[in-house]
Amino acid sequence: MLEIVLATRNYNKIREIKRILNDVNVRFLSLEDFPGCPEAVEDGETLEANAKEKALVVSHYTKKLSLAEDSGLEVEALGGAPGIHSARFAGANATYEDNNKKLLKLMEKIPQEERRAKFRCVAVLAKPDGEAVTCEGICEGIIAFDMKGESGFGYDPLFIVPGYGKTFAELGEEIKNRISHRTRALAKIKQIIDKL
């Protein structure tokens, strides 16, 4: 069976990726299976650069296919911020709640019609020889005025999906995993895996 190492230590992402790709005939491994694997330095200027770096570092070390992704929330009224800084928006050791609170504070005077945002995900499948394929997924939405819902992680309590009128955190995993930015990027990766 084909083995792919998920190039992240984020348990929430691992769980979500496995659920999204649950119908792919692959055995997914994690960095827990490779305790000596070095950390990739995420100092790229783009989501693509960071995802590619993670995938290549892990694939090179493990000598296996590696799947990495980097996601960011881009808020129009904030000039695309937090973007690549989404995970550390409120500081180096910020929690999801810290990041959400900072975003709400920056958006408190922004009217409903100017609260457009998009979640962007860049997924990279890398081979040990250095070859890497990049796929992108985008989900458009609006930033809520307060946090709503208990499901998901990250900015899910603030990201309202038009057509549903609810945040990702209110919609729950099943619906989110059908429509999210990560799902859209991974659907393209799945097509590549299916041909391997």
- For the chain, the domains span 2-194
Residue 45 in tokens: 């200027």
Decide if 70 is catalytic: yes
How far from 70 is each of 24, 113, 178, 181, CA to CA, in Å?
21, 28, 18, 11
CATH of 2-194, one of 3.40.367.20, 3.30.70.100, 3.90.950.10, 3.40.309.10: 3.90.950.10
- With bands split at pLDDT 50, 70 and 90, how would you rate the model's confidence at 114? very high
Which residue among 33, 43, 70, 98 is the active-site one? Answer: 70
Provide the whole-model pTM: 0.93
Q: How confident is the model at residue 42 (pLDDT cuts 50, 70, 90)?
A: confident
pLDDT tens column, 147-172: 999 999 999 999 999 999 999 999 99
CA dist 154 and 3 (Å) reads 28
Query: What torsion, rounded to 10 degrees, do the Cα atoms 49, 50, 54, 60 define?
Result: 20
